[in-house]
Structure 1
């Protein structure tokens, strides 16, 4: 029997949007944050409770409905109303490589309603994967804990989409081998543009501040919740690197997960892995030189950088080609930046007197190659003389990084 997710009749309003920003402010919604645990044959009900990560949705009985915040534009520059609801994690008896998610949905007036799923594997969440109703959905890796996310999007005027009667169960009917998980995270060279939009709201509900630290990628599959860095990137020039969470969707497209292999890429499956559709459209006339919305692509951008990343972390003065590594797409040592706001300096030596050669944003994940001893520093993780090498010739103090122990450099 499936594990069923049920909702109490509660109305919740919040700030933001999902693929493009919504500029209304209200309280967040989510559902119980602790995973339900029971035999897979026993239904598990999850009551509506306030928690982080859900924006611009209302709960009415067993349905999640798009909220009342007005339409707005984000990194993808398409004006829409949108919302997101993160549901409570569900734990199965044993690890599963695939699930079936059942639900009903209403999509009036050219609106969209979808459900995504991800799995928890070795304390890391896999990428979000769209889960068509009633069809087996392969997970990137097998796990005994999964989480569902509801996305609702609509034009500026018209009806509000909804999703209801949600249930999930493990299955052996999908072939997980098609996910082609790689050992190392994908690295690709892409064109970076500055997002700006200070005062606006990102796809996950974050209100953009001056010299902010986050990036936008053109797919919700790698979108972190506000304040989270589950999905982070390392962006490098020849001399500097930034580690930043993915908090917005764009540039140009919203369904271009170009970091994935063609077998699971949501659109543009004939393009090579690592090549954004906008780049192919701009350079080679792919798709008639247009994006998924039919707009003529004016630059080959595959990533947008918030101002603090663009100007301060990477010291860019104009749009430029960068090397981007999508950290969640493979294995490897990682830690999480544990600061209350702003950014952490990345230095060229294991000392606070070392030259700043990059930055890491709040909640971002950083790659960890090894650890070494250096200057003693006090931070959120205590006082320590351990420094982590996060890139060749680049270090951060472990006093500000939530991480395990690594081999010596």
Structure 2
């Protein structure tokens, strides 16, 4: 077993922090830089396939059900309670210890609440400053433990976090507008399988997969969502949460600037490694696992997204917008299951020109009045424009008020 120790400065006894799940733990104010604070080994909302043994978070017993032989893994996610600092900070130092037997892995990611939205997850090396995308007084840590299909039980323990002024100038900034890129989309299928965030895939499901955990949403959440639109014929758009990791790679956050990509830093922003490998022979035409890339896919679509929302019959090029990478108005689809129809006019009689999955975030350009609709948010005649010529009823979307169209 390989055990990694955090730096001596980060060693701190773990305390049980009395806070409700997802309520931020508040550090006491101090004139100097606060000492590291212990983060309780208490998996919060969105956690999956982990167990707790004292101060250790350990991979659970759920079996590996998806992926090729080269990449099939048992994996678990533990979201820890957010921590609030007395003042905004531009970087943090995360401390932790790990146990990684038999080819297993364990890591800790961090994200920050910047301008009222969570940034994407960034891997945090123990004892090393990790830059935040903007000054923030609230951060959250996430533990990822993975192992081959049989045996190993990786763990993470003694988690601490500390604000620091040692910021990396190449941090990932939240842009004025989210990144959009044209990528090749493939159908995921795999009904009955379990996604990277613990979601069990159902018939004609609505979600997408991207080849990095940095934009992986919690099970049942749309805190990381994409807009995917067709590029030929009558344009249709889908608004879906990111609930799985793939295709091909698992550390290819191609939507980020080249300097901050986890791998493949010599590729331009917006270009998936699989596309470069397939089209240009990049990396010898292989993915990160050494497999020969058979198509240029940069996004996988669940069956309901592929067939119903976008009306595709074959794999195709699409325009994908990674909504969390930019500012702008947002709403969250508030339905118990299935999808919300996107209409060509602010009326239930308007043509269906797309769909929005459960819990997905939708970008809101403006609002207008139309047919009165009753839904989870009450009865309203307000409709939200989410793309040119595309509307959703606000009665089914949790959102504030927006300017008139």
Give the TM-score of the pair, scaled to structure 2: 0.91
Corresponding residue for 2:300? 304
How far is 1:2 from its partner? Answer: 7.0
The answer to whether 1:32 aligns with 2:21 is yes
2:174 to 172, 177, 181: 181
Query: How many residue pairs align between the two structures?
Result: 388
Q: Distance in 2 between matches of 1:399 and 1:183?
A: 28
**Cα–Cα, structure 1 residues 124 and 140, in superposed 2: closer, same or farther, change >3 Å?**
same
Corresponding residue for 1:131? 124
How far is 1:101 from its partner? Answer: 0.1
**Cα–Cα, structure 1 residues 48 and 177, in superposed 2: closer, same or farther, change >3 Å?**
closer
Q: Distance in 1 between matches of 2:26 and 2:226?
A: 32
How far is 1:38 from its partner? Answer: 2.5
**Cα–Cα, structure 1 residues 4 and 378, in superposed 2: closer, same or farther, change >3 Å?**
farther
Corresponding residue for 2:53? 60
Q: Distance in 2 between matches of 1:146 and 1:253?
A: 27
Structure 1, gaps ≥5 residues long: 9-29
**Cα–Cα, structure 1 residues 151 and 300, in superposed 2: closer, same or farther, change >3 Å?**
same
Assess if the C-alpha contact under 8 Å between 2:342 and 2:355 holds in 1.
Answer: yes
How far is 1:181 from its partner? Answer: 3.5
**Cα–Cα, structure 1 residues 149 and 75, in superposed 2: closer, same or farther, change >3 Å?**
farther
Task: After superposition, give the CA deviation of every residue in 1:365-392 in whole Å (9 maximum; x if it has no partner).
Answer: 0011111111111111111111110000
SS in 1 for 2:240: strand
How far is 1:158 from its partner? Answer: 3.7
The answer to whether 1:398 aligns with 2:394 is yes
Q: Distance in 1 between matches of 2:15 and 2:55?
A: 5
1:39-54 to structure 2, matched below 5 A, reads 39=28, 41=34, 47=40, 51-54=44-47
Corresponding residue for 2:3? none
In the TM superposition, structure 1's runs of 4+ consecutive aligned residues that sit over 3 Å from their partners are 1-8, 40-51, 74-77
Assess if the C-alpha contact under 8 Å between 2:178 and 2:322 holds in 1.
Answer: yes
Assess if the C-alpha contact under 8 Å between 2:179 and 2:326 holds in 1.
Answer: yes
The answer to whether 1:112 aligns with 2:105 is yes
SS in 1 for 2:308: helix
Corresponding residue for 1:291? 287
Task: After superposition, give the CA deviation of every residue in 1:238-272 in whole Å (9 maximum; x if it has no partner).
Answer: 41000000000000000000000011100000000
Q: Distance in 2 between matches of 1:75 and 1:124?
A: 35
Q: Distance in 2 between matches of 1:5 and 1:53?
A: 26
Q: Distance in 2 between matches of 1:369 and 1:152?
A: 39
Q: Distance in 2 between matches of 1:94 and 1:289?
A: 47
How far is 1:65 from its partner? Answer: 1.2
Assess if the C-alpha contact under 8 Å between 2:180 and 2:270 holds in 1.
Answer: yes
Corresponding residue for 1:281? 277
Corresponding residue for 1:344? 340
Task: After superposition, give the CA deviation of every residue in 1:320-343 in whole Å (9 maximum; x if it has no partner).
Answer: 000000000011111110111110
How far is 1:172 from its partner? Answer: 0.5
Task: After superposition, give the CA deviation of every residue in 1:287-328 in whole Å (9 maximum; x if it has no partner).
Answer: 000000000000000000000000000000000000000000
How far is 1:121 from its partner? Answer: 1.9
1:86 to 62, 79, 99: 79
Assess if the C-alpha contact under 8 Å between 1:74 and 1:201 holds in 2.
Answer: no
SS in 1 for 2:374: strand
SS in 2 for 1:363: coil
SS in 1 for 2:260: coil
Corresponding residue for 1:228? 221
SS in 2 for 1:395: strand
1:242 to 233, 238, 251: 238
Corresponding residue for 2:353? 357
**RMSD over equivalenced CA pairs, Å:** 2.0
1:103 to 96, 100, 103: 96
1:191 to 150, 166, 184: 184
Assess if the C-alpha contact under 8 Å between 1:83 and 1:151 holds in 2.
Answer: yes
How far is 1:167 from its partner? Answer: 0.2
How far is 1:32 from its partner? Answer: 2.9
SS in 2 for 1:189: strand
**Cα–Cα, structure 1 residues 186 and 96, in superposed 2: closer, same or farther, change >3 Å?**
same
Q: Distance in 2 between matches of 1:307 and 1:75?
A: 19
SS in 2 for 1:178: coil
